[in-house]
Amino acid sequence: MRKIILILIFFLASGLVLFSFGELENTWKTLHRSDFRFMGLAIVLVVAWTVSDGLGYQALFRLMGVQERLWRLILLSSAANFINVVAPSGGFGGMAVFIDDAGRRKYPRGMAAAAAALHLFLDYGAFMVVLGMGWVVLIRRNDLDAGEMSASFLMLGLFLALGVFIYIGSHSGEQLGRILAWLARQINRLLWPLVRRDYLSEETARVFSREVAEGLAILRVQRRGVLLPLVFALSSKALQTLILLLTFLAFDVAYSAGTIVAGFATYYLFLIISPTPSGIGVVETLLPLALRSLNVPWEQSVVVTLTYRGLTFWLPLLAGGVSFRVLQQK
């Protein structure tokens, strides 16, 4: 079964690359026109962003009493990003990487799931800060449209729902167990016509919920312990925003601080909310329109979008695929 899942994951990844081959070709052609000094610095910031994510996970694992090496957490974080792209689920699919690794290394899977859920919550929280700043810019420029408002409220709903889940888990493992058992029951009903058996065990869901609750319970006694992971989450968003700035500089595109902040907020918003894997096709269409509304010329908007996607999507996706393979070999 494990081999079948691995084959399916790489099949999906291959399909993603083939589906997006035209975008990759255009991105490669665009990069040849850039100032490689700024591109080189942007790549350094992509690496720093990856390390920042790993440090955030390390701080959360330490908070829960688990000592993990930074290098392994960077691999796990990168692989989780890869899974989130090929099997899009709003960031939740990547948790399976941490859960699987915990199971193979004989420490509580629920503890790993709790750390991954907290990391995702803090990541969304850090983005909500940037999104708020982006709203200020768009409102001041009278440029906030219905699409951006709808996507923002969907993002807020996702953030609050995850927050409620974490709150319940940190206060009542029994209640969390009932929720997970109910979800397992619904999934079993959905898959019964295909597999003719219960695909998930409700009892296993309850046991797993107790492990998750044990990890989240630390929040009741060490609330300040999440401040350091939050700092790393904010630094990751700051680094991604700076990468966008360097993309503007690489093509000598005029900008303002408001343009960079609002541009990144719009990019990341549709990256998360989009129905396609990591916004493929959607971001490439909507981000140039958003930048154009921020007074960036159309041709330069397209160039910036393609380059930024290459740096923050395709490059991490390649690294994530390699990381996933390395972890499976280990």
CA distance 71 to 40: 23
Mean pLDDT, residues 19-28:
49
Give the pLDDT confidence of 38-65 residue by residue, as tens digits: 889 999 999 999 999 999 999 998 888 7
Per the rule left: phi > 0, alpha: psi between -120 and 50, beta: everything else, 200 is beta
Please state at what angle helix 70-86 crosses helix 95-104, rounded to 10 degrees.
130
pLDDT of residue 88: 57
Kindly list the distances between the CA atom of residue 135 and the CA atoms of 62, 148, 187, 210, 239, in Å, as whole numbers in the listed order. Answer: 35, 9, 38, 39, 20
Percent of the chain with pLDDT over 90: 26
pLDDT of residue 144: 82
The pLDDT-based confidence of 2 (bands split at 50, 70, 90) is very low
CA distance 276 to 207: 33
223 burial level (CB within 10 Å; 0-12, 13-18, 19+): exposed
Contacts of 33 (CB under 8 A, 6+ apart): 251, 303
The pLDDT-based confidence of 84 (bands split at 50, 70, 90) is confident
Mean pLDDT, residues 296-301:
86
Percent of the chain with pLDDT over 70: 79
The pLDDT-based confidence of 218 (bands split at 50, 70, 90) is confident
* Residue indicated by tokens 């052609």: 29
